[in-house]
Amino acid sequence: MEQTKTPESFTRYAKNNLSYNKDAIVMYIDMNSFFASCEQQDNPDLRNKPIGVITHPAANACVIAPSIEAKKYGAKTGMRLTEVRELCPQIIPVLARPPRYRDYHVRIISVLKKYCDDVLPRSIDEAVMNFTSYRLVYDDFTVIAKKIKADLRVICGEYVKCSIGIAPNGFLAKLATEIQKPDGLIEITPENIDGHLSKMKLTDLPGIARANEKRLLTIGIRNPLMLRHASEALLRKAFGGVVGNYWHRRLNFGEVDMYKNGYRGMSAGRTLSRLQRESKQSMESMLISLCTRLEQRMVKQEVFCRELVFSIKYYDGTRWDTKVKLAVPSQDAMDMRKYIKQKMDEFEQVRRTALLNNKVQHMGVAISNFVTDKHMQYSLFDNQIRRDLLRKAMYAIKDEYGKNSVRRAAETIQHDVMRDAIGFGSVKDLYEGNHFNQYLLEDDVLGAKAERSTQKKKVDLPDIDWDVFQDEEVRLEYQRQLQEAG
């Protein structure tokens, strides 16, 4: 068989120095088809059937989580329901329930923290555990991974499965979870890493898409194994700078991904239903809802934004975007709405066309360039200090009595216009210090304070004697009691 000649540039730079820490122990937990699995656990009628969790009840709804059974037909996250139906006519659409998935997330993190204090949630369905300082505590980390799986079955149920990867760094541990799904358990070590990489394509690596693949092929790197053994100099050349250093570290057991970062930006967006598109008032109310959602997040994180972007996507593939740089940082939803409306009015006066029409498919608001409340500079002649204090007081009341217990008059027209939604990205909003944000764990209903006692039962899990719970009958009895309590 003819062999492809390795370019001279590759052989000249391929002098890899494997000097990173191979003794670190990182465990990555990736929940399998998470939202769909939660629905199957809660509803026995959905078990072992192809289901797709959708954002809203419509034929063109986005499937944000196909079940394991649906994936066998080729269904993928992000497909439209109509596309999935072509692949799998028997698909069962299930409307998303974000508070329920957050509740499961809390249960999962509570289990993980029984084994390790250093737990970093990476998304609603992923978490990474740094066991490096526990090397003298545990003898065999594959045994620990199996115990975690067993404990998750008790706390969450047998249909909520996970794949666990073990490796010397977070990236390789995540990569290990992709090797065996569902319900996998793979450990990548210095001894077997080349064997695993030799079976993969470049695009199998998280972060390597077609554009990066093309860059690497250009300089003669054709697979992950060659990427691992390339030098930093060659990778800097391929990626155009420090990103090349990061890839060298990742594939040679160095750690570049296990860090906690603050917010660089926040966004909120929704796909509109047919009924919402037909009403301009509903679309304007949706805009208020999006701004209000971002306001709530900024208040919780004690930040103010200095930049604002609003975008509208239409069914014909066109879009309209506008960007606003704020002279005074703001976290007020009505201010954000005002600035967006000003930009829209300016455009409509010139073009003589309505931006909010029945062709709108999606609306989104993004904010960035944050300043903390400690660094806010107020004018002595402005009432912004009073407004900011009132806003904090309003959310304090919402926290105590439920998110719909108090509202501004401008918000009343848009009640229930925007359903709660959930994404796969950051879950920083779900945490307040060392505790969980109860505001995001309740359903969007009036009188939520009365229901919150039930939520606390779900969040505050009891201390479990894990040795006792190795007995299967005792585990099943505990699971039954937990379901009755919740």
Give the DSSP letter string of 291-307.
HHHHHHHHHHHTEEEEE
* CB neighbour burial string for 110-121, b if at least 16 within 10 angstroms, e if fewer: bbbebbbeebbb
Instruction: Count how many residues are written for the chain.
Output: 486
Residue partners of 414: CB distance under 8 A and separation at least 6: 285, 286, 288, 289
**DSSP letter for each residue of 230-280:** S-HHHHHHHHTSHHHHHHHHHHTT--SS------SEEEEEEEPPHHHHT-H
Report the C-alpha gap between 87 and 90 in whole angstroms: 9
Instruction: Sort 275 into a burial class: Cβ within 10 Å, 0-12 / 13-18 / 19+.
Output: exposed
H/E segment holding residue 436:
strand 435-436
Taking the C-alpha atoms of residue 198 and residue 260, their distance in angstroms, rounded to an integer, is 31
The pair of structure tokens assigned to 324 is 């606003």
Q: What contacts 120, CB < 8 A, 6 or more positions away?
A: 127, 128, 129, 130, 258, 260
H/E segment holding residue 397: helix 384-401
Residue 69 annotated to the active site: no
- Per the residue annotation, which of 39, 126, 232, 442 is the catalytic one? 126
Alpha helices in 72-218 (DSSP H): 81-87, 98-112, 141-156, 170-179, 193-197, 210-218
Are the C-beta atoms of 288 and 313 separated by less than 8 Å? no
Rg (the chain; Cα; Å): 25
Amino acid at the residue 333: A
Of 97, 64, 17, the residue nearest 423 (C-alpha): 64
| Strand partners for 80 | 62
- Cα dist from 192 to 20, 225, 250, 255, 415, whole Å: 16, 12, 15, 19, 55
Known catalytic residues are: 126
